[in-house]
Amino acid sequence: MEGSQLEEFLKREIREGDIVLIEYPSRYPLEKLVWGKIIPELSHGNQIIIDDFFGIGDLTFRNYIRTVPPKEYKELIEIAKSLKVIKIGPGMGSYGTIIDEIPLTYEVPEFMKNYYDAIRKASSSAIKPVYFITFGLAEYLYFGKEKGLQVILFSRSNLPVEDWTSIYFINKDVIQNEVLAILEEISPWVIDVVEKENEYEIEVKKGLFDFKQK
């Protein structure tokens, strides 16, 4: 499956309340997939809310925006203005509207208090349907180890985001296989970016059906 097919697949097959885990290797040019294809496509008639750990989303945005021609640059800037951003931990926010900034913590009670307030702010003004996109999750889990994983599982189980479609971009070279397995277990959809003979293929690793296409 090509990147141009992935955003169509997401709109066609993924439903409200689904969790989609998109695993990619560290050498993969994630910014081209996210900012060149997925976000522009999903932004049509939908609200996109972004969780940005460590400013990873901001870095991918700036990496991509420097490479595009003037027409695409202008279009992407307009799309970026409509995005709502929850900034978690250090990092800049050069895109979208920052609706909350959360200090980095691996303590469940503190994270839940801060994050719940951010979700409430995001949901109060969001139109439906909502796509909830997360950047930097692998980095958060790498530094937080077991505490970080507990925070993610607890927040996912208890926060009122069951009507939102959640898309987690995760660098699979960063975290342990056991942690990745736990994330895969709670995700009804797992999409894998695989490197084969110096090319990348996008495969559905887990879903409601078996799907594989170059």
- Per residue in 176-189, pLDDT (tens digit) is 999 999 999 999 99
d(CA 154, CA 41): 31
The domain total for the chain is: 1
pLDDT of 146 above 80? yes
Q: Residue 100: exposed, middle, or buried by beta-carbon count in 10 A (0-12, 13-18, 19+)?
A: middle
**Residue 136: count of CB within 10 angstroms of its CB:** 25
Domain for residue 76, yes or no?
Answer: yes
Domain for residue 37, yes or no?
Answer: yes
| pTM, to two decimals | 0.90
pLDDT tens per residue across span 106-124: 999 999 999 988 888 887 7
d(CA 13, CA 114): 32
CATH number of the domain bearing residue 82? 3.40.50.11570
- Supply the pLDDT for residue 50: 95
Cα-to-chain-centroid distance, residue 116: 18
Is residue 109 reached through a cis peptide bond, with omega within 30 degrees of 0 on the bond before it? no
d(CA 20, CA 188): 7
First to last CA, the chain: 4
Give the residue numbers spanning the domain of 56: 3-208
Give, to the nearest 10 degrees, the angle between helix 137-158 and helix 108-124. Answer: 80
| Token pair listed for 135 | 């950047």
**Which helix (H) or strand (E) is 132 found in, with range?**
strand 130-135
Domain for residue 101, yes or no?
Answer: yes
Domain for residue 213, yes or no?
Answer: no
- Determine contact, residues 40/205, Cβ cutoff 8 Å: no
Domain for residue 214, yes or no?
Answer: no
Domain for residue 122, yes or no?
Answer: yes
